[in-house]
């Protein structure tokens, strides 16, 4: 398997999904071994729970944060960070991630768009509150915390079922895809909105489109022109070549 020759590409967009973080001990939500196979997401991750049972959301958040307590970036995270750092000045790199674990930033990636938020951050459940989302280093506690500014329950800064994507992150993603010349999806089938439309946008822009995933996409997505099968932590270092 040969490394991709990136020298001819000026605007590179990478989309990552749960498959990138599995080797770091982070369970995926969907698919084989996925969390949603064991619990009903409507009972723990639906936006309606903010009004009826916000503690359920906080409990799920706590379980995820416990996973992250010892999780470290794996070879895929590290290679992507080094790749970004070693690009030439006339190349642009955007990393869009569906993951909420923050491991890309921990590995050193800088231009990261988190379209589903970050479970390490906490914010107020009151959309009119002035509290700015913040990195929450407090140990998890079953007691639902409340906002010191308005008294509303706090919540993880992630996108729940039934919620819109963050406007800024969605806009930044679409802007990057508009004129990219290389699009690579890693560890995701790209079937969940809005990622399901990302490869189509990239293809319309004339980009080379590549899928790196553990299993083949079924049904096939005609907008992916190349497919490499295997784990992210093995294939990303190979395909992204040598970095200092």
pLDDT band at 244 (very low <50, low <70, confident <90, very high): very low
Kindly tell me if the per-residue pLDDT of 178 is higher than 60.
yes
Instruction: Say if CB 17 and CB 190 are below 8 A apart.
Output: yes
In the chain, the domains with their CATH numbers are: 1-26+72-116+165-244 (3.40.50.1220), 28-70+121-158 (3.30.1600.10)
Tens digit of pLDDT for each residue in 38-57? Answer: 666 677 788 999 999 999 99
Active-site residues: which are they? 116
Tens digit of pLDDT for each residue in 99-134? Answer: 999 999 999 999 999 999 999 999 999 999 999 999
Give CA–CA dist 114/95, Å, rounded. Answer: 9
Task: Give the pTM.
Answer: 0.92
Q: What one-character-per-residue DSSP string does 1-24 give?
A: -PPP-GGG-SEEEEEE-GGGTGGG
């Amino acid at each position: 398997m040969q490394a991709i020759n990136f020298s001819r590409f000026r605007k590179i967009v990478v989309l990552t999904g749960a498959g990138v973080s599995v080797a770091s001990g982070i369970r995926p939500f969907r698919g084989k071994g996925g969390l949603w196979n064991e619990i009903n997401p409507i009972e723990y991750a639906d936006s309606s729970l903010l009004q009826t049972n916000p503690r359920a959301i906080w409990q799920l958040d706590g379980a995820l944060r416990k996973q992250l307590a010892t999780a470290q970036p794996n070879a895929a995270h590290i290679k992507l960070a080094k790749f970004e750092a070693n690009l030439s000045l006339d190349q642009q790199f955007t990393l869009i991630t569906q993951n909420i674990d923050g491991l890309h930033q921990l590995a050193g990636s800088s231009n990261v768009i988190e379209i589903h938020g970050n479970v390490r951050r906490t914010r107020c459940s009151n959309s009119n509150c002035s509290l700015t989302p913040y990195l929450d280093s407090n140990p998890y506690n079953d007691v639902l915390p409340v906002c010191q500014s308005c008294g509303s329950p706090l919540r993880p800064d992630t996108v729940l079922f039934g919620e819109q994507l963050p406007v800024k992150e969605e806009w930044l993603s679409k802007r990057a895809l508009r004129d990219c010349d290389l699009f690579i999806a890693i560890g995701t089938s790209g079937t969940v909105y809005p990622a399901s439309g990302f490869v189509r946008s990239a293809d319309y822009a004339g980009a080379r489109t590549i899928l790196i995933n553990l299993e083949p996409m079924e049904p096939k997505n005609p907008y992916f022109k190349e497919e490499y099968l295997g784990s992210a932590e093995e294939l990303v270092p190979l395909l992204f070549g040598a970095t200092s």
